[in-house]
Amino acid sequence: MQGLVILLVCLTVGSACAGSVGVSNADPFEREGRIVGGQDTTIRAHPYQVSLQTKKGSHFCGGSLIDAETVVTAAHCLVGQKAAKVFVRLGSTLYNEGGRVVAVRDLAYNEDYSSKTMEYDVGILKLAEKVEETEDIRYVSLAEETPPTGTAAVVTGWGSKCYFWCMSLPKTLQEVYVYIVDWKTCKSDDYKYGEIIYDSMVCAYEKKKDACQGDSGGPLVVGNTLVGIVSWGYACAAELLPGVYTDVPSVRDWVLKTSKAL
């Protein structure tokens, strides 16, 4: 999906293209920053949130801790990755310092994941050591049912804070409140996506508020349950184009089964 977002950026403002590839620290135009339209928050308020990073400490995706050794993220964050090259920072409001960094012993993503349709965009990481819960590190439970359209939800991450031109580099976790839009409503004429929304997806929308690049894999939460995994969207915070998430109830059995097997 990153590709599609970049393509759209490139078609719109050619000058932004050089810097829009990836979110590595070496990139002067890096798009790390914030969720769009959100505000600073703390890890204590969202203690299930983790940052997936390279060995050098570049944040590349979000994730959610679901038990002492398992992180749920998006499949598209894990394609082409090797467990030995992925590190997880837990328990820190800042993605680049604090909390603890744990190595990954194994990873897997859903065999039905399609980079074309973005269906089943879910994967898991098994941590190399077990982490106990603290005030800043907590397991989140997996939703069994999709909340109805209109339910308030919160999405968090260290991703891009704007779509076109993001130069600022806040390191602080961001949160934004959005409203659940079920997949049928999301593909209806109420919004602009149409047929490309599938039943393994759930959308979330609020004017000028959204997840964005770099938030991928991260949590969409209602209460203390994980209802969505940041997956894709056309642009970020665009009119009638909700953020699209993996619907957690649709992949819950896969997560539990795979987590046991690894």
Whole-number minimum distance, CB 111 to ligand 4AZ, in Å? Answer: 21
Task: Tell me if 89 sits within 8 A of 49, measured CB to CB.
Answer: no
Whole-number minimum distance, CB 195 to ligand 4AZ, in Å? Answer: 19
Q: Does 164 bind ligand 4AZ (CB under 6 A)?
A: no
Question: CB-side exposure of 129: number of CA atoms within 13 Å?
Answer: 10
Number of residues that bind ligand 4AZ (CB under 6 A): 14
Q: Does 5 bind ligand 4AZ (CB under 6 A)?
A: yes
Please report where in the chains the tokens 């039943």 appear, as a residue.
199
* Nearer residue to ligand 4AZ within complex by CB, 137 or 220: 220
* Nearer residue to ligand 4AZ within complex by CB, 71 or 212: 212
Task: Tell me if 255 sits within 8 A of 200, measured CB to CB.
Answer: no
Whole-number minimum distance, CB 142 to ligand 4AZ, in Å? Answer: 20
Sites for ligand 4AZ among residues 194-253 (CB under 6 A):
210-213, 215-216, 230, 232-233, 236, 243
Measured CA to CA, the distance from residue 196 to residue 100 in angstroms comes to 39
**CA dist 29 → 36, 40, 214, 215, 232 (Å):** 17, 22, 14, 17, 21
Whole-number minimum distance, CB 216 to ligand 4AZ, in Å? Answer: 4
Q: How many residues does the chain have?
A: 262
Assigned token pair, 210: 């959204």
Positions marked active-site: 76, 121, 216
Query: Contact positions toward ligand 4AZ, by CB under 6 A?
Result: 1-2, 5, 210-213, 215-216, 230, 232-233, 236, 243
